[in-house]
Amino acid sequence: MTYDVKIELENRVEEYSFGDVARQANGSAWIKSGDTVILATIVIDETEIVKDDFLPLTVQYIEKSYAAGKIPGGFFKRETKPSDFETLTSRIVDRSLRPLFPKGFGHPTQITIMVFSADKESDLQVLALNAASAALYSSDIDINTSVAAVRAAKIDGELVLNPTLSQLKQSTLDLYLSGTKEDLLMIEMRTFGGSEIEVSEMMIDPMIDPTMGGTMISTHVSNAISENELIEIFTNTQKELFHTNALYEQSFKSIKKETKIIEYKAHTINSEMVKFVEEKHIDSIRDAMNQMAKSERSTALRSLRKSILETKEDWDEVELKDAIEKVKKEQVRSQILNARVRADGRKLNEIRPISIDTNVLPGAHSSCLFTRGQTQALVVLTMGGPKDAQMFESLTDDGTQNENFMVHYNFPGFSVGEASPIMGTKRRELGHGNLAKRALEPITNLDGQTVRLVSEILESNGSSSMATVCGGYLALKAADIETSDTIAGIAMGMVSDENNYAILSDIMGLEDHDGDMDFKVTGSKDGITAMQMDIKLGGISLNVLKEALYQAKEGRSHIIDIMLEAESKIEFNDGVLPSTDFFHIDPSFIGEVIGQAGKTIREMIEKFEVAIDIDKKDGKVKITGKNKTGVAGAREHIEGIVSKPKVEKIKYEVGDKYPGIVKKIVDFGAFIELPDGTDGLLHISKISKERVDKVSDVLSEGDEIGIEILEFKGNKISLGRA
């Protein structure tokens, strides 16, 4: 392979080859970085042009198992449906490159990115976008702007750009920026799970030496990042992003193919129709704007269109639809920019009314119905053990991984009044679920449990993913799961013209559709845990971004206050909610708790229907059960064992005689408890000098009898009557 370009970046070297492979495509780029090799291609269908006002762009990111020397796991030894990582990476590339295509570009376009070789340190999501951008920039399509990605990490308090995967695992921050040499286009951000710190807490515990005066307990602390710190990181990361794009364009300029002349969609707005609608039907447009639900607004605009066509029979309905849409959009935007009032009458920073109901599903472990305006999410939580974790295989990791915190987001058509069937999970649903997971995971302390959150969107008029975050947090609290902070989510928007701009809090669907920005921010009152931003303008300044972040913080604080009030009123589903309890015992009592050959602990597990884990080193006990009653009963039983005066073990010898208690009668004899709690077997043949046909005819459980040590067989003791 001949490499045409070698580019040295911060913490990484990229080599590019153009034209050696995939030569039938409109553009292709073969990229090598470390031992990772990726091919990106772009192909357009010149025979077809989509007439709708939509860019028919499809991005597919595909990983091949052979790239890491693996054979696909499972029954089928061939790559099948895309993994979550592949789908999410496809979305990142799509959202970054879509803004580059000129208005009127209507040819179906396919971008394919294939990973042919992968090492354990390369950032595949960054390289995938850079390869796709290089293929697009060097193609014969009339696009002369490159897009690049830069990832930032924060390791030991220091900012690291383009970290390796090993470095990223040590980071408290994962920030992914994409943009051109002039504009920031997209942000994906999350903080990693909180750290465990030890906190001194004064407490009296009968199982801890009171002379200690207290004990050390672990507390989960989130790594939410403040707005000021984030802006500083954006500033430094953006410099590297702009520098990278300048290098790309300088290096790829001589590689670019001759531009192909293609047909663009002729999309002109009929000025006569626009003027007619503005002069004669502006009030009807305003009335339609006030129909907040998408289905209601669409019905109102459709009725207006039909009524106009009754008097203007020679007008084209499609042209009239475009004219009405243009007037509506301009009305929405001008009202916000000039009157500083939104279509539903809210102020720019005003949050819609919120109502919260927790544990509305009595048969679920926990649930929350979160309603904000006309957006409603029912978030349901299910708890499980380690074996319930989702298994997955990553190309860059050794072996199978387990995901024990899952957020699944579902968006049925009825939520927006559409008559559409519920099919498989779409990319958007996967992306929204992933955003909610990234928002909540850093503050959740699962301690070995598996948790699945499912968000069913029952109604949607903007920001259902943020409703999922809020409902998800309250579902965690309704399941009595420990969290380090209260997390809420808010969707921000922006409307701007050449001279002015307005930042909107808690945007609805109309403002998302007709606005210039969709900016989702999740976090606590003090900091941010996750973020996702898409810009429709082609870029955003850091000053505007900073203003949006602080307005989002104000909105989050308002929502969190309402959530905290709802949290204080939670009533647990005690009958079905699994319970976990942690406590410590004196490690010297562990033998008594476990019992001979595990007998005591097995009896507790069966009686109380719980799982019991004991750390023999420090005496930490974890009890997990189907309900609180069983867990409490098991703890009480263990505490009863360790509160008894400890009996010293007796060194038994053959021929020794002791009093014993009949603990259990079986067909072949009776188990006898010796003075130190050790069990021995009195065989039926040793019970009496006379023949015994039925043990219960001679002995009863609880009887005290004299016994003699006859024999030792490993850990078992054979007894006779004294």
Q: What is the pLDDT of residues 53-99, one digit of tens each?
A: 678 999 999 999 999 888 887 778 888 889 999 999 999 999 999 98
To the nearest whole percent, how much of the chain has pLDDT over 90?
A: 43
Highest average pLDDT, of 25-29, 536-540, 608-612, 683-687, comes from 25-29
Comparing CA positions, the residue from 46, 7, 262, 237 lying closest to residue 133 is 7
Whether residue 579 has pLDDT greater than 90: no
The values of phi and psi at residue 216, to 5°, are -100, 125
50: burial class by Cβ within 10 Å (0-12, 13-18, 19+)? middle
Comparing CA positions, the residue from 443, 465, 456 lying closest to residue 533 is 465
Q: How far apart are CA 695 and CA 717, in angstroms?
A: 19
Q: What is the structure's pLDDT at 199?
A: 35
Contact 222, 191 (CB under 8 A): yes
Q: What is the mean pLDDT of residues 467-496?
A: 94
End-to-end Cα spacing for the chain: 90
Q: Which structure tokens are listed for 300?
A: 């109102």
Amino acid at 711: E
Q: Over the chain, what is the mean pLDDT?
A: 86
Q: What is the structure's pLDDT at 697?
A: 85
Q: Is 623 helix (H, G, I), strand (E, B) or coil?
A: strand
Helix (H) or strand (E) holding 15: strand 12-17
Residue 379 — pLDDT band, cuts 50, 70, 90? Answer: very high
What are the pLDDT digits (tens) for 636-672? Answer: 999 888 887 666 677 888 888 889 999 888 888 888 8
Give the C-alpha distances (Å, rounded to integers) separating 591 from 618, 640, 671, 677: 13, 14, 19, 11
Residue 279 — pLDDT band, cuts 50, 70, 90? Answer: confident
Of 2-16, 58-72, 688-702, which gets the smallest average pLDDT?
688-702
Of 201-205, 351-355, 454-458, 484-488, which gets the smallest average pLDDT?
201-205
Higher-confidence position of 9 and 424 = 9
Q: What is the structure's pLDDT at 291?
A: 63
Q: What is the structure's pLDDT at 282?
A: 84
The torsion angle over the Cα atoms of residues 85, 86, 87 and 90, rounded to 10 degrees, is 120
Q: What is the mean pLDDT of residues 575-597?
A: 83
Q: Which structure tokens are listed for 607?
A: 């009686």
Beta bridge partners of 370: 356, 377
Beta bridge partners of 175: 152, 189
Q: How far apart are CA 652 and CA 641, in angstroms?
A: 23
Q: What is the mean pLDDT of residues 101-122?
A: 92
Domains located in the chain, CATH noted: 5-252 (3.30.230.70), 271-339 (1.10.10), 354-567 (3.30.230.70), 579-643 (3.30.1370.10), 657-721 (2.40.50.140)
Sign of the alpha-carbon dihedral angle for 322, 324, 329, 334: positive
- Cα Dmax for the chain: 118
Q: What is the structure's pLDDT at 224?
A: 85
Q: How far apart are CA 368 and CA 99, in angstroms?
A: 37
The values of phi and psi at residue 287, to 5°, are -65, -40
Q: How far apart are CA 263 and CA 107, in angstroms?
A: 8
Q: What is the structure's pLDDT at 266?
A: 65
Contact 150, 177 (CB under 8 A): yes
Q: What is the structure's pLDDT at 96?
A: 93
Helix axes 464-478, 427-440, angle to 10 degrees: 50
Q: What is the structure's pLDDT at 267?
A: 66
Q: How far apart are CA 716 and CA 713, in angstroms?
A: 5
Residue 198 — pLDDT band, cuts 50, 70, 90? Answer: very low
Q: What is the structure's pLDDT at 182?
A: 86
Q: What is the mean pLDDT of residues 136-161?
A: 93
Residue 209 — pLDDT band, cuts 50, 70, 90? Answer: very low
To the nearest whole percent, how much of the chain has pLDDT over 70?
A: 93
Q: Which structure tokens are listed for 78?
A: 């061939």
Q: What is the structure's pLDDT at 201?
A: 31
Whether residue 597 has pLDDT greater than 80: no
